[in-house]
Amino acid sequence: MGMPPAASQAPPLRQREHFTTRVRNFWQRVSEGRQIEDLWSQFAADARASYGFYGSDIDWEEIKKLPQWRRPFHVAKEFFWALLLKLTPARRVLLLAALVMLVLAGGKNDFRFEFFAAVALLLLLSLELADKVTMKRDLEIAREIQSWLVPSFPPEVPGAEVAFASRPQNSVAGDYYDAFFATMGAADGGKLMLVIADVAGKSIPAALLMATLQASLRTIAGEGASLADLVLRLNRYACAHSLDGRRFTTAVLAEYEPATRRLSYVNAGHNAPILRRANGDMEKLDIGGVPLGIDAATAYESSTKDLNPGDALIFYTDGVVEAFDENLTEFGSERWLAAIRALPEVTAQESLHFLMMRVDAFVGVTRQSDDITCMIFRAKRPA
């Protein structure tokens, strides 16, 4: 006797469950367990970043001169050339061959053209992906080396505490921060050196200059040079390696004496650190001069601040205030100052977390556009 028609047509329950499990496991592996909303947000962020990357090669002023109806075609053409010229000559030919085969397949309805076009595009994708993976591995090694140049843990400072965080836009950054006792510890009357800097540019070139800046700074500070002499010598070195001022560095260099709670500083064209007093008043540390690497003969002015228990000093790079959301609206100085104004009286690490959370909440899932670095120095109240 044969099986009933319904039973013969439907797959067995166990087979359906096995198929469903395999599909679920495949999707989990591909999506890494993320929700559709998260994947779409990530795709949108990647699309905006790619648009900016390829759009930088387009002469938008010339596009605006064209009649309205011709602009979409020219924009598409310019984007295609911007993409094509990013490839090696051999890969350009491979991409063009694949596109020609797709056109022929559409005209002749020939599966062979579609197959060869798909193979060519898959080969091109695999070659580009191999390059990306190799570059990413090299950048990860560079990032690990760069992490050796900055402190992993803050130094112990009598009556004060330090916290810092840095987020490169890529694997490596041109931002630099440091906090160290140059010649002797606090117990022996040593001064704490606090530094934040931002090399013009991004990624590998900026990271290499950052490394030379760190080496020069540590060497000069280790010789016991005064703050004024330190800045002058750093500037002369930066000018000798700045490609006629094109690779300048903004920086704030400060010395703190734990015994007197006095902070001396020089601001070399950097975003002015904010000193938030315990009573809520705020002051900017903006005394100094031009960025390092602009003019070897420039003179720098220094200034001092006396810190009181409960005061917080916030150093940061321009990536903080220039972070933008999905609407390309910048976080901006006003929001940053409002976040600092609302800073509760907590530890330096908690203060850092509070401020970075404000930036993250504003930016959302938008891809980071610049290196972000922040360092908090707080004078503790007596226990």
pLDDT in tens, 43-80: 877 777 787 778 878 888 888 888 888 888 888 888 88
Domain locations in the chain? 31-145, 149-379
Write the DSSP symbol of residue 209: H
Write out pLDDT tens, residues 288-299.
999 999 998 899
Write the DSSP symbol of residue 56: T
Nearest to 258 by CA among 192, 183, 347: 192
Distance, CA of 262 to CA of 109 (rounded, Å): 80
Write the DSSP symbol of residue 154: P
- Please give the structure tokens belonging to residue 162: 């330090």
Query: Which fold, 149-379?
Result: Phosphatase 2c; domain 1 (3.60.40)
Write the DSSP symbol of residue 287: -
Tens of pLDDT, residue by residue, the chain (383 residues): 455 555 545 557 777 777 888 888 888 888 877 788 777 877 877 777 787 778 878 888 888 888 888 888 888 888 889 888 888 999 999 999 888 888 887 766 667 888 888 898 999 989 888 888 887 777 777 777 777 788 889 999 999 999 999 888 776 778 889 999 988 877 777 899 999 999 887 777 777 888 888 889 999 999 989 999 999 999 998 888 776 667 799 999 999 999 999 999 999 999 999 999 999 999 999 999 999 999 988 999 999 999 999 999 999 999 999 998 888 889 999 999 999 999 998 999 999 999 999 999 998 877 777 889 999 999 988 76
Task: Map residue 304 onto helix, strand or coil.
Answer: strand
CB-CB contact of 274 with 283 (8 Å): yes
Confidence at residue 54, expressed as pLDDT on a 0 to 100 scale: 81
Tell me, what amino acid is at 365? V
Using the Cα atoms of residue 171, residue 174, residue 179 and residue 183 in order, give the sign of their dihedral. Answer: positive
Write the DSSP symbol of residue 70: G
CB-CB contact of 199 with 227 (8 Å): no
